[in-house]
């Protein structure tokens, strides 16, 4: 009988967690049915059935399974093959929950995101009574927080609980979430295996700030107003097209020069920094980039981002300027050649060409590079290109 294996939902995925089966053990499934919700290190998504038949679950909810290992089998119904009493593979049961009052309550609960279910449980909310605002009526984090009377932007309560306070004089232990563990491992591997170096420059962003103000004023009320970071993403994308080595990866003692310019944008999630991808950023307008980054950031914070939206980046921009940091020296996101760290724009006094003292807005850009791909001169030319584009930003809209 056909086996259903743990799918590889992203380039870096090694294992996944079975969160919830959307079809009960023994029920019939059809090709295209949403079968199971799987959590990876990057996102949670529903996996669709690729074959039809009766479901036999092997890996129950909460089970961690390596990519390629079986999680279920699909075959003929037991009654059809004369095995009404055949034993079913044992698997852990989900914690008991209050029985829904009607079929609508059950279908609503199944249509909720895993984060929404955890939040509902934490706040004592019957998720079957909620109406979803997500795709196809799915209940999201925002729906639960609204029902709980909490601001939507407030961090959720699904972080792992800290250990009880130990004896005086000792610290407390707090376990990492699975996503934090994966990020920690990947960053440690990156620092240990990639020869990093940095180049840094100051950008006079008065013209960029003025252009951003004009774009914001001209944008329709329903459209996302571009931010300074959107201008930086666009400038980086244009420069990447002109400097192909910065848009490359190191693999098997060779360089892979990417045809597409896909810029990853770092977004702060509840428990980690998540990099969402703006595909073909060099070919998009600043307005399109602004719309993409807003949509991706909302999906990251709502827990509805999908693995394809977190994969495929050829370069990353990480901006801590909104927190008032004047500079950041980021760690490369392998297998990319470089990552751009962005600080906050700050006012300084400077002399103009006539020798007069004037106000200037400066912004620090730091480029962390993989020395196997980029040398110092390569990195300097690439970063200078980004600086020049931001100092003459009308070139970005031509």
Q: Active-site residues: which are they?
A: 371
- Cα–Cα distance between 10 and 309 in angstroms, integer? 10
Q: Which are the contacts of 12, defined by CB distance < 8 A and separation ≥ 6? A: 41, 42, 182, 186
DSSP codes joined into one string, 338-364 = EEEEE---EEEEEE-TTS-EEEEEEEE
CB atoms within 10 A of CB 287: 18
Pairing of strands 315-319, 273-278: unpaired
DSSP letter for 223, please: S
- Whether the bond between 335 and the residue before it is cis, its omega within 30 degrees of 0, is yes
Phi and psi torsions of 145, nearest 5°? -65, -40
Q: Which are the contacts of 64, defined by CB distance < 8 A and separation ≥ 6? A: 15, 16, 17
CB atoms within 10 A of CB 221: 5
Closest by Cα among 200, 204, 179, 198 to 267: 179
Length of the chain (residues): 398
Closest by Cα among 223, 240, 326 to 279: 240
Which residue shows structure tokens 């029920």? Answer: 27
- Cα–Cα distance between 129 and 113 in angstroms, integer? 15
- Cα–Cα distance between 46 and 37 in angstroms, integer? 4
| Dihedral (CA of 229, 339, 308, 156) sign | negative
CB 198 within 8 A of CB 327: no
- Cα–Cα distance between 227 and 53 in angstroms, integer? 50
């Amino acid at each position: 009988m056909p086996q259903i294996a743990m799918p590889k939902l992203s380039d870096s995925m090694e294992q996944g967690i079975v969160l919830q089966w959307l079809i009960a053990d023994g029920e019939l499934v059809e090709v295209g049915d949403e079968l199971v919700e799987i959590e990876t290190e990057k996102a949670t998504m529903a996996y669709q059935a690729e074959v039809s038949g009766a479901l036999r679950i092997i890996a129950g909810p909460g089970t961690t399974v390596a990519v390629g290992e079986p999680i279920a089998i699909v075959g003929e119904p037991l009654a059809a093959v004369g095995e009404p009493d055949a034993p079913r593979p044992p698997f852990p049961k989900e914690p008991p929950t209050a029985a829904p009052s009607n079929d609508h309550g059950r279908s609503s609960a199944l249509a909720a995101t895993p984060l929404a279910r955890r939040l509902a449980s934490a706040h004592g909310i019957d998720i079957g009574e909620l109406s979803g605002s997500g795709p196809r009526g799915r209940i999201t984090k925002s729906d639960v927080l609204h029902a709980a009377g909490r601001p939507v932007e407030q961090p959720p309560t699904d972080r792992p609980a800290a250990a009880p306070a130990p004896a005086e004089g000792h610290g407390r232990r707090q376990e990492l979430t699975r996503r934090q563990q994966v990020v920690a491992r990947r960053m440690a591997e990156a620092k240990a295996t990639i020869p990093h170096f940095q180049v840094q420059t100051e950008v006079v962003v008065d013209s960029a700030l003025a252009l951003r103000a004009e774009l914001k004023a001209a944008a329709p009320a329903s459209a996302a107003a571009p931010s300074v970071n959107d201008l930086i993403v666009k400038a980086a994308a244009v420069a990447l097209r002109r400097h192909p080595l910065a848009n490359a990866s190191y693999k098997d003692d060779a360089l892979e020069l990417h045809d597409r310019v896909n810029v990853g944008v770092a977004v702060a999630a509840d428990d980690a920094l998540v990099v969402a991808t703006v595909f073909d950023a060099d070919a998009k307008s600043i307005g399109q980039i602004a719309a993409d980054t807003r949509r991706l950031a909302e999906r990251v914070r709502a827990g509805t981002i999908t693995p394809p939206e977190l994969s495929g980046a050829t370069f990353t921009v990480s901006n801590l300027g909104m927190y008032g940091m004047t500079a950041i020296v980021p760690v490369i996101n392998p297998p990319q050649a470089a990552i751009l760290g962005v600080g906050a724009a700050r006012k300084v006094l400077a002399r103009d060409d006539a020798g007069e003292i004037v106000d200037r807005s400066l912004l620090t850009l730091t480029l962390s590079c993989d020395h196997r791909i980029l040398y110092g001169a390569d990195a300097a030319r690439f970063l200078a290109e980004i600086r020049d584009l931001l100092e003459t930003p009308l070139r970005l809209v031509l």
